[in-house]
Structure 1
């Protein structure tokens, strides 16, 4: 992290790689013609950010540069690949397989009581103190691993339940599902439930209505089984505790994950009361946190104060109601609708689009970073997959 002029900049190990890729794309002339819709999106980000964040120009500019840089590099990658879906997904699943290899190595070492070896080997990629036997590979924490594996999980479940061998084999589908489950993350299990719901609701008919009750029982069973796992039970119980009757003593005793959500909810609520429409500008939630956190909570923990622990909370805090509604509109406008078709490419596009749809929902719930884990790339793939599928089979 670099501090200067009152603005902190987090530097990650992969930044130099992205900078090299960016200059490579410039060198080969990839940006000579740019998608006007992407340019309009960048312009909209600029305008809305400075309307709300004129008081904090350095913080706003830092975040704008961050978002725009990763959007431009991600767009360059998609253009360089000529939106060849099979090649893009081959790259993604190659990374997933490497990710699972390291994650499996991590879980095995911890199971054998040799977890310190993994911490020492990958200390530059992870947060060493956060690593346990829960699957996280070289990511920052298990929930991050769940986000990154979500598209792979969605496709894997589709391969096992509906139609096999789309993008990957059934064997790899099983391996991916096991890795995902081993994150033991509450948000991961929410992702599974949402995936099952998308599969079930993609074509609703009388026969499926008859299966509604047994499916509800199955989902309820998953929820109860997850609740029986002590760390998840603790998070649910603590969340109910702070949302019904939270005292200072309760806040001192709850787990950090629940505290992060609750404290950032309190801050966002106050921020909205003061800047309801345009927020305080991109990159300013940390300022809002220091400004609005109650004195009784100020000395407990400042976990997730930079990214608000939730994309929904961060958008509301930094962008206000207008930016939040624009983002939600983008999400639902570009969700690809399922249509009965023998077109193999359409089915692949639908899978990618809807897997990213669930990823976005999980980000809105419990992940506040704008660019970490390739989020900008996934947003662009979400947009282009819907655009391409609509061209293949236009809506009536």
Structure 2
């Protein structure tokens, strides 16, 4: 039973495009979560950790205050609170119930990433052969950026462990390149930059130069990348989105809205799930916004970035706790840092590109990061005691 629950969860987070539409999209992963929840409940394996209670309590209290001051709406706050609670509780108990070594979990994730990448390459070839020359690899995910973000930890790890499996590295690297996603290319560059344990050493100069060369090559040769870089730089400097591409508009418009929220409520933000309401309130003040007509609400709900959404919804306090979590459970010792850094790359993607509070894979990585720290610290303490 433990194997079924673990593997169904692992495979499920990679099956974003597998759904049926009956008025709403019913995704395969939702069915997997529901069935596994019932199994855990049937065997009395669900527990609520204290930290989850504290998180939910804080979010509920700040949301109530925000609703009283009319910067948030009860329905939006409740929906986000339920989604966060259910997702966190599920993945915490999955890790706790299966009781697998986290390095084993990551190894299984690597295998799935490899096959997902291989499937994506086959689909890419099929699309190109059939004349779809603008196709960008996304495998079984909904978009290239999400595909790139979810396999980015696997790329970094396979780069570090290249000698163990060169084939795995080349397949995952090729899939990232064929995605044509700026997220994928940034993750490749970031992996190169943090390749060595000690980042700021002279011997890394060649790696940094190679990374810079690859980044420049992508900018010069790929119109999609060049357009986004140029538009983003221009719009960021002027806070004017006139003539910008949609990706740049989504980023700059939500950055502008978050900036306005922080000017009024910097400490606790406007309340959980409030960003859409804040977007409606402030977006009309952004120069050039009117040129996007019906697309003005692009990414209004998720802010196009988890960091922007946290700042908007939960303020500087919320952002502090996010970075506090990342810093507290990061492992620097021996080879342990490799897995920690691999997951950090996903966090980088999530914070700066995708703002859903409970996308299927998010808490898979969050609790992988958390339990990796717990297991290594416990093992280290046991060794000290035995010595």
Q: Is residue 370 from structure 1 mapped to residue 357 from structure 2 by the alignment?
A: yes
2:368 aligned residue (381, 388, 396): 381
1:357 aligned residue (344, 348, 354): 344
Paired residue secondary structure (2:298): coil
Q: Is residue 45 from structure 1 mapped to residue 51 from structure 2 by the alignment?
A: no
Task: After TM superposition, give the deviation of residue 11 of structure 1 in Å.
Answer: 5.7
Number of residue equivalences: 351
Task: After TM superposition, give the deviation of residue 276 of structure 1 in Å.
Answer: 1.4
Change (3 A) 1:304 1:13: farther
Paired residue secondary structure (2:355): coil
Task: After TM superposition, give the deviation of residue 211 of structure 1 in Å.
Answer: 1.9
Match of 2:252 in 1: 262
Q: Is residue 231 from structure 1 mapped to residue 224 from structure 2 by the alignment?
A: yes
Q: Is the 8 A contact 1:268 1:314 kept in 2?
A: yes
Structure 1 distance, partners of 2:141, 2:327, is: 29
Change (3 A) 1:283 1:274: same
Paired residue secondary structure (2:60): helix
Match of 2:234 in 1: 241
Task: After TM superposition, give the deviation of residue 63 of structure 1 in Å.
Answer: 0.2
Change (3 A) 1:173 1:220: closer
1:26 aligned residue (28, 33, 41): 41
**1:246-325 matched pairs, under 5 angstroms:** 247=240, 251-294=241-284, 296-298=288-290, 300=292, 301=295, 302-325=297-320
- TM-score of the two chains, using structure 1 as the length reference: 0.81
Change (3 A) 1:53 1:352: farther
- Structure 1: runs of 5 or more not aligned: 1-8, 116-130, 340-346
Task: After TM superposition, give the deviation of residue 50 of structure 1 in Å.
Answer: 3.3
Task: After TM superposition, give the deviation of residue 392 of structure 1 in Å.
Answer: 3.1
Q: Is the 8 A contact 1:110 1:133 kept in 2?
A: yes
Match of 2:101 in 1: 84
Match of 2:18 in 1: none
Change (3 A) 1:203 1:241: closer
Structure 1 distance, partners of 2:42, 2:134, is: 43
Task: After TM superposition, give the deviation of residue 278 of structure 1 in Å.
Answer: 1.0
Change (3 A) 1:27 1:234: same
Q: Is residue 209 from structure 1 mapped to residue 204 from structure 2 by the alignment?
A: no
Match of 1:144 in 2: 146
Paired residue secondary structure (2:201): helix
**1:139-218 matched pairs, under 5 angstroms:** 139-160=141-162, 164-165=163-164, 169-200=165-196, 202-203=197-198, 209-218=201-210
Structure 1 distance, partners of 2:198, 2:154, is: 22
